[in-house]
Amino acid sequence: MTSRPAAPRRPGLPAPGQPAFVALGSNVGDRRAHLEAALVALGATPGVRVAAVSAAYQNPPVGGPPQDDYWNAVAELVTTLSPEALAARLHAVEAAAGRVRTVPAAPRTLDLDLLSCGDEVCRTPALELPHPRATCRAFVLAPWADVAPDAVVPGTGATVLAHATRLRGREPAAFAALRRVALLRVAAPRGARPAVLPDAEALAAWRARVEGTVGLVPTMGALHEGHASLARRARAACDAVLATIFVNPLQFGPTEDLARYPRTFDADLDLLADVGADAVYAPTVDDLYPAGFSTHVDVDGPTAGFEGAARPGHFRGVATVVAKLFARTRPDRAFFGRKDAQQVAVVRRMHADLDLPGAVVVAPTVRDADGLALSSRNRYLTPDERARALAIPRALDAARARAAAGERRRDALVAAARAVLDGAADVATAYVEVVDPARFVPLAELGAAPALLVVAAKVGTTRLLDNEWLLAPGDDA
């Protein structure tokens, strides 16, 4: 496989398009294949990029003749098409999948509903936006909240998370009936491998050749679908995508897993080729921290508790490397995962305080089909430990259900999560807390803005982190 040449594209930084959300459903034949084929067809549409897709949820059909369960998902697109042109394209993809419109609520190979397109609000016989039933269906709102919890549903003034929470409060059974069944592949023909930039000089030469916007995806390698989701969002939003792979010694404590941290560089390049990354900066320790290196970035505030307390020096190492990566790569957008929520708070604080370039973009956590948040460290888990680790997403979900039912008190929400964790064998909980996502301090109760429930727990010898949004119904996010 050849390396791609310098990235490159249009000067003048044209807007890549506006976000649009599409609900996908299928309940005939190979449901996964139908949904994945639809994603391929959408991604191959001129003027459309697939930025993200939720997991597939299995869901009993509503009304109509007896039929199989549905698989439902929501995709986030970035598009330069008009809403009408996008809707027409969705009909064409449905038709190509063999969908014949017969009686209402009949089984269907493929159903594609345009939920929203930019800020458009319209009610014409041909097109209604946002989709008139988008905010009253659990099988739409649950996957939609997975990919874009903070997107505002046009014309409603409320976020997807707020709508999902409200509906979950009113129809808990509809949410309980949904079952996550699979991660969907957003397959694109594998492109050339990204150019490998081994040092600052190669990086500077590549950066100087880029004419459009640069999306930066910092990683420590051992890439998985969580990292791929960041790169895919960068691909949809920017002209050039630059990943970095660097196992940063500064952020590991003396007794931590630096030496055995998984290194899978070759497979990482294949994954980056699949998502269309242009280049990967993979420096040595000496390249980033040459002899005599003596400057570190200490962020106060959000580093005080939780991981900051458990891992002294960790966030100092994170902030230092991220500041250097911003300086060396000068990104227009830098993508981080909500999975590491405290890291997000630290990076955002530092980015604002030091006037670093570009924008910080935070992407939702990608979970395996069974709910476990993807993490490079999951490969340390034995099959038995992995099964026990599922107590963590279950604990988060128990608290979310309580919040949706109207519970606002921190103590009750934490107790709901703790009860699940305490009931799991060999899961040693380090902390469970309700925090403000920016300041990372505990909250006594849920307010008007979404809070984060954060969990750290050791399963076997592996320390796992996870978190979820908590919101009480009636609040606007």
- Is residue 329 part of the contact set for ligand AMP (CB under 6 A)? no
- Please list the active-site residues: 227
From 7-15, 363-371, 406-414, 458-466, give the range in contact with ligand AMP by CB under 6 A.
363-371
From 44-52, 60-68, 368-376, 404-412, give the range in contact with ligand AMP by CB under 6 A.
368-376
Q: Which of 17, 331, 337, 450 binds ligand AMP (CB under 6 A)?
A: 337
Minimum CB separation from ligand AMP for residue 26, in Å? 25
- Is residue 316 part of the contact set for ligand AMP (CB under 6 A)? no
Q: Which of 160, 363, 434, 456 binds ligand AMP (CB under 6 A)?
A: 363
- Is residue 339 part of the contact set for ligand AMP (CB under 6 A)? yes
Minimum CB separation from ligand AMP for residue 318, in Å? 9
Burial class of residue 89 (count of CB atoms within 10 Å of its CB; 0-12, 13-18, 19+): buried
Q: Which of 153, 373, 417, 435 binds ligand AMP (CB under 6 A)?
A: 373
Q: Which of 93, 151, 220, 459 binds ligand AMP (CB under 6 A)?
A: 220
- Is residue 468 part of the contact set for ligand AMP (CB under 6 A)? no
CB of 135 or CB of 219, closer to ligand AMP: 219
- Is residue 365 part of the contact set for ligand AMP (CB under 6 A)? yes
* Intra-chain end-to-end CA distance of the chain, in Å: 46
- Is residue 376 part of the contact set for ligand AMP (CB under 6 A)? yes
Minimum CB separation from ligand AMP for residue 330, in Å? 19
- Is residue 227 part of the contact set for ligand AMP (CB under 6 A)? yes
Minimum CB separation from ligand AMP for residue 117, in Å? 25
Minimum CB separation from ligand AMP for residue 14, in Å? 27
Pick out residues in 228-247 that bind ligand AMP (CB under 6 A): 229-230
- Is residue 307 part of the contact set for ligand AMP (CB under 6 A)? no
Whether the Cβ atoms of residue 187 and residue 232 lie closer than 8 Å to each other: no
Residues that bind ligand AMP (CB under 6 A): 219-220, 226-227, 229-230, 336-337, 339-340, 363, 365-366, 373-376
